[in-house]
Structure 1
Amino acid sequence: MRSLFVIAILGLLTSCGNSENSVQSNKDGIILKVTHDKPVDTVVLKTDPRYKLYDQPDTIITYTGENSILLDTINIPKGYYELSSNNKVNKIYLQANSRLEINNLDTATTFKGDLADINRYIAVREGKNRELRPYFSPFSYGKLTEKEFLRLNDSIYSVFSELVKNLKNLPEAFRSNELNIAKIEKANQLLTYTFVRPRNEKDYEPSENYPAPLSEIDLNNEELLNIDRFRVLLWSYANVKASKTDMETWEYILSEDFPSKNPKVKQEVFYTAGIFDLPRMRDPDGYYEKSQQFLEAGTKRNELTEKYYELKKIGKGFPAPEFQLTNLEGEPVALKDFKGSVVYLDFWSNSCKPCIEDMPEFKKLQKDFENKDVKFISIAITSNRERVESILEKNKMTGIQLFQPGKDKELMKDYAVTSIPRYVLVDRDGNIWNHIAPRPTDPELKEQLNKLLGS
């Protein structure tokens, strides 16, 4: 059945033929024409963060005015973009010396011009992404047995790889990149399954026949840096390996055991480790010093320098970054309101399963300290209010619950929050005690709270 389905998709894509590609291209840039069947106020063209190419800069162009037609000649680098208008988002691909016409209707989107075949393919690829997204979720496939998961992962890979392999009108460089995206996604799922399966099967260990996640990928191929998930895959793999030794992840990346020997690839994964791990490293000073030697001068080294000095501001004994947010009743709550008490900050999200799994222990912790001067403040970030309220009600959570979209990014930056769940301990004087505090499930947390309380 799967093969028949893929053939049906291919027929849909190729049935339009090449007659529509006769529109003349523009040698000085990209002619982009977008037509809507209803008037639009704003059209936004920006870089697609998920698929952007390695050297593709972040770009955003906003067009305003009441019109149903946009026609412009733009000079931007080739790559993947998002075109948003009338609450509709088109994933598109653009490159110089070409023309693309997009006709946005309520019922469908059609393409004409030099890039029509590529963008028809992307439209179908994104449709399949939406359809299969529930199966991509670790919370979903973590419930499957190993055999069931491997069958599912192979099937999903086959759908995407066959889709791009069998189209005849795609440029080879584009086709190669899309095939690599599918291959890296498959590898990511293979690696992630080994993390999430033990949550549903406590004693799970991969079988002898479990595929090595990196076995089908040329880890020295610099072209794979065009795929952001490639760096994340190698960083995740390094995390696993480092956790089995006394190394930090970045130390493993620099070691001879790291599977890619390409210096450029190693630099990118080393940089990725800094972006994700710097706030929780045992030796952030050591990492920073090495970054100044190992990374080439430029944007990435500057970015890590900025993060390092931001992190310094939330070291032990420094004033906790002040904030004022609203609770679920819309009332303002400021950190300074609790000066004189010990504060335990909880950063969580409605999409973070480990955050939600911590809630029963969090409630027990609140019960244990209910007669002591500790304030428990939970802050929902990057969340949906309806989902937040539902989760809190289901878990019968009490304490101080804050939620204010729009201030998320600023707060996450102030507290160097790069992953969740994340907990922070603040002493009675309003100073940071531990910016990576133990989770409610960790017995060490009670020891630290009692120490701060002087008991």
Structure 2
Amino acid sequence: MKTNLFTLLLILLFTVSCHREKKETTDYVILTGSILNHSNTPLNIKEFDQYGFSHEIMLSSEGSFRDTISLPYSGKYFLTDDKTFSSAIYLEQDKVLNIHLDLDHLKSTKFTGDLVTENKYLALKDSVITNLKQQLKKQKDSFYLQKPTVFKAKIVDFKTDLDNLILKHPNMKPQFVQEEKRDNHYHYLDYVYRLYPASYKYLTKQPDFKFPEGFLDEGNALDIDNGEDFKRSIPYWYLIHNKIQIDAYKKASEDSIPYHKAVLAVLNPLTSNNIKDYQLKSIVGRKLKPGNANNEDIYKLLMSNISNKKVREEITNAYDRIKAVAKGNDSPTFDYENFKGGRTSLENLRGKYVYIDVWATWCAPCIKEIPSLKKIEKKYESKNIKFVSISVDQKQSYDKWKAMIQEKELGGIQLFSDNAMQSTFITKYNIKGIPRFILIDPAGKIVDANAPRPSHPELIELFNTLKI
């Protein structure tokens, strides 16, 4: 009996020892490092999919951090502060990565630990992409005025450079390599299929220009139902967003149905709910606007076809805000810095109609409206109306805002919002795109939360109706 017990104990000890020698795998990565020249706002590790995985990292006052992050998978994520900085980063479960980054000198970024090869590769890839963007910026319009075959050849060379980077970094995980090859192809398609055709037609003033046979075939054949690439590939996100809209406009025209129903028809066959939900919210949700007679129909369509709880909540909040700024309701208020000094609030303008232009220095369509707005201001300078322009530029563009006012000799009341597109006045009007124009009556009531642009004859008609 004693012998059997002793033998059993030996077996148990041997079994425990074997288990200890076998390393247990985990689903987390240990991420440490430091970031110089940063504002100490929190960093996030996230997927590019807005509603996908996200993990917040807190920086110390010196810019250092250490965190243990449970990952849904090993692969490419994005390290970002959601404002001024974003960089692709490779993370793997059960590994350790140290990163030292200087935002003023990104080329000096250093990686140590288990995942150096993949992250050095991503940093070099970012340099190749940045170089092409700098070339585009330098050449401006001439970049897109190249003949189709010449332009395509240049982008093929760009893709070859990206693919060669993969070859120069052997031993990366096969799945990551395949994902990166697809991402490189998406970068190529983004230029050839999305950016170039529209730019070339616009710059050459040939809206009906026919590209060489086969030029757009790769883009037309793009699979818009890859939910995994939607999480990790920036160009794929832009490509399918563009293609879905093109296909929907075509279907709306061919079938004589409303655009929002055509978008749903294009998205219905998809099995990737993350793509379907986001595209419905992004494309159709933008049609929820003050004064749109189809708002209720659009809202019901969205709520019936979106599964993501967070997306549904955002849409409901937007719909409620739109109802709150219906004609005749009290307008949300503002109190912003005035270019000429001091602050100006909506209350300060009580007793006069107020025509508000929401704009930004980076917004080309906004700037295009300036000449028409100046003419309107001149025509009504002695009337019972004030013209207010509210900039939603980021704080770092404050000086640029002041310079543009002087450069373009902007009139009216020029105000600078307190939190860009997230300012309370802006969010209460559910403004998602600019320019946006709003008309408020002398009592502070909403006349039109989505008023006609200065360049549209309907604006003068509206003013005449109100006997301004």
Partner of 1:390: 403
Partner of 1:444: 458
SS of the equivalent of 2:219 reads coil
Once residues 360 and 285 of structure 1 are traced to their aligned partners in structure 2, the CA distance between those partners, rounded to angstroms, is: 36
1:103 Cα offset (Å): 3.9
Once residues 290 and 348 of structure 1 are traced to their aligned partners in structure 2, the CA distance between those partners, rounded to angstroms, is: 30
1:441 Cα offset (Å): 1.5
**Are 2:249 and 2:262, in contact at CA under 8 Å, matched by a contact in 1?**
no
Partner of 1:6: none
1:259 Cα offset (Å): 7.8
Partner of 1:283: 294
1:416 Cα offset (Å): 1.0
Closer, same or farther in 2 for the Cα pair 1:40/1:319, shift >3 Å?
closer
Closer, same or farther in 2 for the Cα pair 1:165/1:366, shift >3 Å?
farther
Is structure 2 residue 123 aligned with structure 1 residue 127?
no
Residue 73 of structure 1 is aligned with which of 68, 72, 80?
Answer: 68
Partner of 2:7: none
Aligned residues, how many?
Answer: 423
For 1:109-124, list aligned pairs within 5 A.
109-124=109-124
Residue 224 of structure 1 is aligned with which of 229, 250, 257?
Answer: 229
Once residues 80 and 448 of structure 2 are traced to their aligned partners in structure 1, the CA distance between those partners, rounded to angstroms, is: 43
> CA deviation digits over 1:33-62, x for unaligned, max 9?
3267x89995843135xx525773332221
Once residues 322 and 38 of structure 2 are traced to their aligned partners in structure 1, the CA distance between those partners, rounded to angstroms, is: 43
Is structure 2 residue 282 aligned with structure 1 residue 272?
yes
Question: Which is higher, the Rg of structure 1 or of structure 2?
Answer: 2
Partner of 2:26: 27
1:182 Cα offset (Å): 3.8
Once residues 34 and 345 of structure 1 are traced to their aligned partners in structure 2, the CA distance between those partners, rounded to angstroms, is: 46
Closer, same or farther in 2 for the Cα pair 1:134/1:432, shift >3 Å?
farther
1:373 Cα offset (Å): 1.6
- Given residue 322 of structure 1, which amino acid in structure 2 is its aligned partner? T
**TM-score normalized by the length of structure 1:** 0.80
Partner of 1:418: 432
**Are 1:379 and 1:401, in contact at CA under 8 Å, matched by a contact in 2?**
yes
Once residues 68 and 339 of structure 2 are traced to their aligned partners in structure 1, the CA distance between those partners, rounded to angstroms, is: 47
Residue 64 of structure 1 is aligned with which of 60, 63, 66?
Answer: 60
Once residues 303 and 142 of structure 1 are traced to their aligned partners in structure 2, the CA distance between those partners, rounded to angstroms, is: 41
1:357 Cα offset (Å): 1.6
Which structure has the highest helix share of the two?
2
Once residues 37 and 263 of structure 2 are traced to their aligned partners in structure 1, the CA distance between those partners, rounded to angstroms, is: 52
**Are 1:346 and 1:421, in contact at CA under 8 Å, matched by a contact in 2?**
yes
Closer, same or farther in 2 for the Cα pair 1:446/1:58, shift >3 Å?
farther
Is structure 2 residue 155 aligned with structure 1 residue 160?
no
**Are 2:201 and 2:209, in contact at CA under 8 Å, matched by a contact in 1?**
no
SS of the equivalent of 1:350 reads coil
Partner of 2:269: 261
Partner of 2:45: 47
> CA deviation digits over 1:248-278, x for unaligned, max 9?
44221123xx388324344442222244332
- Given residue 421 of structure 1, which amino acid in structure 2 is its aligned partner? P
Closer, same or farther in 2 for the Cα pair 1:308/1:82, shift >3 Å?
same
**Are 2:287 and 2:295, in contact at CA under 8 Å, matched by a contact in 1?**
no
SS of the equivalent of 2:144 reads coil
1:151 Cα offset (Å): 4.8
Partner of 2:331: 320
SS of the equivalent of 1:325 reads strand
1:109 Cα offset (Å): 2.1
Partner of 1:431: 445
For 1:253-402, list aligned pairs within 5 A.
253-255=263-265, 258=266, 261-264=269-272, 265-279=275-289, 282-296=293-307, 298-383=309-394, 384-402=397-415
SS of the equivalent of 1:207 reads coil
Partner of 1:409: 422
List runs of 5+ in structure 1 lacking aligned partners: 1-23
1:285 Cα offset (Å): 1.0
Partner of 1:10: none
> CA deviation digits over 1:394-417, x for unaligned, max 9?
222111111144354023311211
**TM-score normalized by the length of structure 2:** 0.78
SS of the equivalent of 1:59 reads strand
Closer, same or farther in 2 for the Cα pair 1:282/1:235, shift >3 Å?
farther
- Given residue 370 of structure 1, which amino acid in structure 2 is its aligned partner? E
Once residues 39 and 404 of structure 1 are traced to their aligned partners in structure 2, the CA distance between those partners, rounded to angstroms, is: 26
Once residues 39 and 342 of structure 1 are traced to their aligned partners in structure 2, the CA distance between those partners, rounded to angstroms, is: 46
Once residues 361 and 39 of structure 1 are traced to their aligned partners in structure 2, the CA distance between those partners, rounded to angstroms, is: 42
Of the structure 1 ranges 157-166 and 306-315, higher mean CA displacement relative to structure 2 is found in 157-166
Once residues 243 and 167 of structure 1 are traced to their aligned partners in structure 2, the CA distance between those partners, rounded to angstroms, is: 43
Is structure 2 residue 247 aligned with structure 1 residue 252?
no
Residue 90 of structure 2 is aligned with which of 88, 93, 103?
Answer: 93
1:171 Cα offset (Å): 2.5
1:418 Cα offset (Å): 0.8
- Given residue 448 of structure 2, which amino acid in structure 1 is its aligned partner? N
Once residues 333 and 409 of structure 2 are traced to their aligned partners in structure 1, the CA distance between those partners, rounded to angstroms, is: 28
SS of the equivalent of 1:64 reads coil
Partner of 1:15: none
Closer, same or farther in 2 for the Cα pair 1:330/1:91, shift >3 Å?
farther
1:446 Cα offset (Å): 1.2
1:307 Cα offset (Å): 1.3
**Are 2:285 and 2:302, in contact at CA under 8 Å, matched by a contact in 1?**
no
SS of the equivalent of 1:126 reads helix
**Are 1:239 and 1:249, in contact at CA under 8 Å, matched by a contact in 2?**
no
List runs of 5+ in structure 2 lacking aligned partners: 1-22
Once residues 40 and 229 of structure 1 are traced to their aligned partners in structure 2, the CA distance between those partners, rounded to angstroms, is: 27
